[in-house]
Chain A
Amino acid sequence: MTPTVTSTDVVLSAQGLVKRFGGITATGNVTLNLAKGARHALIGPNGAGKTTLINLLTGVLAPSEGRIVLNGEDITRIAPHQRVRRGMVRTFQINQLFNSMTPLETLALVVSQHRGLGAGWWQRLGAKPGIAERCSELLEQFHLTDVMAQRTEHLAYGKRRLLEIAIALACEPRVLLLDEPVAGVPPGQREELLQTVANLPSDVSVLLIEHDMDLVFEFATWITVLVNGTVLTEGTPDAIANDPQVKAVYLGHGEEITHG
């Protein structure tokens, strides 16, 4: 561990992250700090490298350069599941579910794994006290109770999307990275879902990638704008909304929108 963290308020810090795929630089020297309890949004046009950045932070991809620090510990080289154990959990832009399981089995598994029972081979899944109760809460909270015993692959898209988010919250994250969580969620449940995220304990830090600007401005207290794999600017929602540079590349209608 090297004590280079700028402030004790920063829980997750990406320092000079670079990711090259062959000759293409997907992420070019990104430095990003996520404050404790933040409601932080990451925006940018398609192909700006937002998902690549999440993949780097969570260990799905290894960075070509730079380092990642979580709660003062350098986690650049540790495996994805070890980052989860340290409290950093993500959701995926494209649903990543366990198709042959039911939502109930999925959540029971996630809760068991989170409570350190994942290697238990004698007790039946859900037999330990508290697991089933926690599953009931989560199913209720995410409107999945009516479909809890259906195979996930047969669920409607909206339900699958809700399960995607429910899995992440079942891990009780300290740092939550949300990759376009409400894309495809039925309109009535979008606000509610975002409200659920906003209502997480105030010391849980959230980084949100989202396309819907209304939602971003409603949710975030800090916004980072990513363009072509680098940070264009960052600031409060007001500052970002009035930034001429951001308007030009991102919000500007009729202007040229960068596709990378």
Chain B
Amino acid sequence: MNTQTTLLQASRWKPWEPVLWLLAFAAPLVLPSHALIINEIAIVALFAVSLDLVLGYTGIVSLGHAAFFGMGAYTAALFAKHIHPDPLVGMAVAVGTATVLGALCSFTVMRGTDLTRLMVTLGIGLILMELANKLDWLTGGADGLQGVMMGPVLGQFEFDLYGRTAAFYSLTVLLLCFLLARRLVHSPLGGTLKAIRDNRLRASAIGIPVTARIAVGYTVAAAMAGAAGALLAQTTGFASLDVFEFHRSADVMLILVVGGTGWLYGGVMGAIVFKLLQDMLSAITPQYWTFWLGLFLVVLVMVGRERLMRPWTWFSKGGAR
């Protein structure tokens, strides 16, 4: 076997990958009445891919990833309201502020254990939410930021009530960020992040500047979370304290648990399953849907994702694999 071919094989496109993306982009056309949820799924998928860069690829646990999501959302909403309504410019600015915030916060996760990181990231999320609440002259406080008028995408495509433009816009941003993330995780830099995740001691013993690389990984992920937040604010024309809420950070972690960490499609698959399940359950039982969602998660973790997806192995003897 040739070593170079084997090395490059890992990053080669599998046949099902373009099919999946074609299906995703066909979905708003085929199911126009579901464009809104497709938009939501794309946004949450991007948020989950961003967390996977931190959690799955660098091995840093975070319960405050909503901080960057919220930063992107508020920046995009404020920019559209006060400076310029163009969504692409707003997106760039939102990604910029989330990147700066990520770079600043990366210093808090360089050292310490998983538990201290959970606490620190949780704390940062809470701080930002309270700031958004307190600075009500800027953010609208608990009422949220209302009256955000978005311009058309590329000066052509107006955001419509049915969410078709929104869905295509979000899917496009998701695809671009996904391609970037895909490139990154298969590069030497991505390799050094995985090395840090697998064995920090050895990573530094082969000359990897561990803290600097963690900062890079964390900052890139923050930028993508900011993009996801900006998408939400731009496609709904609204930003509220909800974007910083703890449940957002927790949900996105659940999504990664559902889809699988350390695998970029895990975030995408998890987002699809999680959002559809949430949608379905809340339609069937509006009051008690979280019970069923909780039950699903417990079963998923107890039985294991691999086995749950292979129902035919459930009743065979020693079927666990």
Q: Which residues of A contact B (CB under 8 A)?
A: 58, 60, 79-81, 84-85, 89-90, 92, 96-101, 104-105, 108-110, 112-114, 117-127, 131-133, 135-136, 139, 148-149, 167, 170-171
Contacts and interface: CB of A to CB of B under 8 A. Distances in A.
The winner among B190, B202, B262 for most chain A CB atoms within 10 A is B202
Contact of B8 (A90, A126, A133): A126
Interface in B1-26: 1-4, 6-8, 10-11
A132 B4 contact: yes
Interface string B163-206: 00000000000000000000110111111101101110111111
A248 to B, nearest CB: 36
A101 B191 CA distance: 9
B187 A125 contact: yes
Contact of B207 (A92, A125, A171): A171
Given A60-B201, A80-B205, A99-B199, A148 B188 contact: no
A57 B230 CA distance: 49
Contacts, number: 138
A85 B3 CA distance: 26
B192 A109 contact: yes
Contacts of B210: 81
A117 B208 CA distance: 11
Interface string B217-232: 0000000000000000
Given A108-B3, A113-B192, 6 more contacts: A79-B209, A81-B205, A85-B207, A92-B201, A92-B205, A125-B11
B199 A98 contact: yes
- Secondary structure at chain B's binding surface: helix, strand, loop or mixed? helix
Nearest to B195: A98
B3 A135 contact: yes
A210 to B, nearest CB: 19
Nearest to A117: B188
Contact of B188 (A60, A80, A120, A170): A120
Contact of B183 (A108, A112, A121, A148): A121
A107 B13 CA distance: 23
B176 to A, nearest CB: 15
Contacts of B202: 92, 96-98, 167
